[in-house]
Structure 1
């Protein structure tokens, strides 16, 4: 039988949410972000979720509403609840940011995501410098300013850093590059907790981001490309210093 809405799913997760519905949304959200639930895939029905989490339908419905509001799920009559396409996800929602950072991921995948970023983001900076609008430039510059203002507050710094990289990607005005937003975002969110664990390292990163923003503002595509490569090389160096990879067999 489902437990009442006053029961606690897991004491360890109680600090991350004040309600059962919040805890359920977090569990389902993490599964979506981690790729356990893929875009287009239907969620189990309400009864199955009630049985899994030991809660009432009310708690499950509230959790689904939270994820719909964040763009992760959609509800269709006579079809069910399915995972939304990545383009609808609210990447900069605070819960989504937190869920990304709480995921456990193997070191090899972290390196692979960093390699993807190094392959994509310099070109994104190049095209952003050539095509950005005034509003898109303002978003990029504001993100850098927020990074500078919050170097000592890591949760706010991470939010600003994520905003910066997404703003650059969107400023390419290329829908195919924008489609890579989730992979780029995941690579950033999963690695930044290792590459920028303290204020000192945050302060070192800000000038690298500002140099990218200045090149984009000047519409200097080559410089934007080079500055993004510099930044990602620095991030990759930090990451390689803290992850451990098994040697090839």
Structure 2
């Protein structure tokens, strides 16, 4: 049915991208059926095998479910795999910056101070070395791109250092969701303060001081929200961060 020279996996990925983005944007609403298999084949000029594999991939991401006699239908957003990198990316691309950042900082305020405290309690010497290396790379960064990569590596290393496998998917998610936030903030004049704050978090973790690490990370996140408000006028809601328990 096709004479496209591209590899099947590439074509399948493009079909997944096409349908997944449409679902997340709301073009195919929850409960609605996706177009029939033969319609997708004709519209996208792909084989039935490609369509079936793409649907299987979307099902694995929690976006769709096949129902007897009613076709493949879009599931409600609360049933989507929100930690899936593609789903996250489609959500980010669809959301306006203010809404996206407000939700992101709610998550960061709830999770990251506790992750820093957990890293102080459980991090291995190898974990601490990775956190220190990322903080040093942040201090040495000369470009916005290097700054963003070092910042992402720093926060990822802290979540891994909790030695709690339930924090690890959040670390993977942050590789996707923090990139946009850090890219917005990278050009600011706040870098010397931010470097000092990251080093403060790192030193508290290395000193095995969970309460201090918690407070240092909470302060870092609060100042990050303030930077975005100052630079772009984006209001990040949120109350005071609770003390660790």
3-state SS in 2 of match to 1:175: coil
**1:191 corresponds to 2:181:** yes
Distance 2:122 2:170 in 1: 18
Match among 129, 154, 170 for residue 138 of structure 1: 129
Query: Structure 1 residues 161 and 45 mapped into 2: Cα distance closer, same or farther (>3 Å)?
Result: farther
> What TM-score do you get using the length of structure 2 for normalisation?
0.60
1:228 equivalent to 2:217? Answer yes
Q: Residues 223 and 35 of structure 1: is their aligned pair in 2 closer, same or farther, counting only changes over 3 Å?
A: farther
Instruction: Indicate if the aligned counterparts of 2:20 and 2:90 stay in contact, CA closer than 8 A.
Output: no
TM-score (norm 1): 0.60
**2:163 aligned counterpart, secondary structure:** coil
- 1:80-116 Cα offsets, whole Å, 9 max, x none, are xxxx9677x6x7xxxx7x9579724232342122022
Alpha-carbon separation, structure 1, partners of 2:4 and 2:170: 38
Distance 2:113 2:99 in 1: 22
Q: Which residue of 2 aligns with 1:166?
A: 156
Query: How far apart are 1:132 and its partner, in Å?
Result: 0.2
Aligned CA RMSD, in angstroms, stands at 4.7
User: 1:178 matched to which residue of 2?
Assistant: 168
8 Å CA contact 2:12–2:54 kept in 1: the answer is yes
Q: Write the distance in 1 (CA, Å) between the matches of 2:119 and 2:224.
A: 21
Unaligned runs of 5+ in 1: 8-18, 37-43, 74-83
Question: Do 2:116 and 2:205's aligned partners in 1 also have CA atoms closer than 8 Å?
Answer: yes
1:239 aligns with 2:228: yes
Deviations 1:179-229 (A, max 9, x none): 444565555234223322x16444542222122112211212222112111
Aligned pair count reads 210
Aligned-pair CA distance for 1:235: 0.7
8 Å contact 1:30–1:99 — kept in the other structure?
Answer: no
Unaligned residue ranges in structure 2 (runs of 5+): 27-33, 63-79, 236-245
Which entry has the higher C-alpha Rg, 1 or 2? 2
State the distance in 1 between where 2:42 and 2:129 align.
45
Decide whether the 8 Å contact of 1:86 with 1:182 is kept in 2: no
